[in-house]
Amino acid sequence: MPEPPGEHRYHAYLLRLWSAVEEGQLTWRASLENPRTGERIGFASLQRLFAFLLDQTSLHAELNASPPTIDDDRGAESKRGK
């Protein structure tokens, strides 16, 4: 089902993180749960989680004429009182 207009501009998830030992190495696992639908997605690594989030936000980034720069991010932090 297609998302309503503007729906791609906001994503909310419940993030769960936990550590696990695999072949003697500590690794992090993650899951995201959509609070609206209850859908859960599991990730075997943080890299896979990040890849998913980048994929989810890539459409939004493509729609922006000028993506934020490091200077823009610093400005946002200073506006928040940092």
Model confidence at 4, pLDDT cuts 50, 70, 90, reads low
pLDDT at 62 over 90: no
Least confident of 41-45, 52-56, 60-64: 60-64
pLDDT band with cut points at 50, 70 and 90 for residue 58? confident
Contacts of 39 (CB under 8 A, 6+ apart): 33
Average pLDDT over residues 43-52: 95
* 3 falls within a domain: no
Geometric angle at alpha carbon 43, from 33 and 26, rounded to 5°: 125
Identify whether 6 is part of a domain: no
- Give the count of domains, the chain: 1
- pLDDT by residue (tens digit) across 8-26? 678 899 999 999 998 999 9
Residue 28 belongs to what domain range? 11-79
